[in-house]
Amino acid sequence: VVQLVESGGGSVQAGGSLRLSCAASGYTVSSYCMAWFRQAPGKEREKVAIIRAYGVTTYADSVKGRFTISKDNAKNLLYLQMNSLKHDDTAMYYCAGAQTTYCGGVYNYWGQGTQVTVSS
C-alpha cells in the first residue's frame, strides 16, 4: 500500500522559513513525477511545484524565487523548502505522486496535508 506522510508544517512569522517533508512508503520517489499542492481558504487547489523523476523542477509564479522542491532519493523523501514566507502562503499543503514520469496528468497518491500558517 502506498503512503505519503507529511511533516514540517506549523506557524511562522512573515519573512520566516519552513521546510516540509514527505516520506514515501510503497513508492519510490526517484521513479515518478511528484508535486506539492496547496489550498487556502476560499481558493482552489494550486499546484505549487513539480519535480520530475530525473530532477527538473517547475514552480508556480507565486512562489518562484522563494520555494524550492527537492528530493533525497537515498532516503525516499520529498521536500519543500519555503523561504521569505508571506501571509498569502497560508494554506494546507499536500504532497502528491504520479504513477508515471508524466507530470501533466493525474496524481494518484496524496498525503494527508500539513497546515502552514504565516502571520503578518
The pLDDT tens digits for 77-88 are 999 999 999 999
pLDDT of residue 92: 98
Q: What's the pLDDT at 64? A: 98
Mean pLDDT of 91-104: 96
Ramachandran angles phi, psi of 71, nearest 5°: -145, 155
What lies within 8 Å, CB to CB, of 23 at 6+ separation is 4, 5, 6, 7, 76, 77
Burial of 96 (0-12, 13-18, 19+ CB in 10 A): buried
pLDDT tens digits, 39-69: 999 999 999 999 999 999 999 999 999 999 9
Alpha carbon distance 21, 4 (integer Å)? 10
- Cα distance between residue 33 and residue 52, in whole Å: 5
Mean pLDDT (the chain, rounded):
97
Question: Which residue has 499543503 as its cell numbers?
Answer: 93
Residue 43, SS3? coil
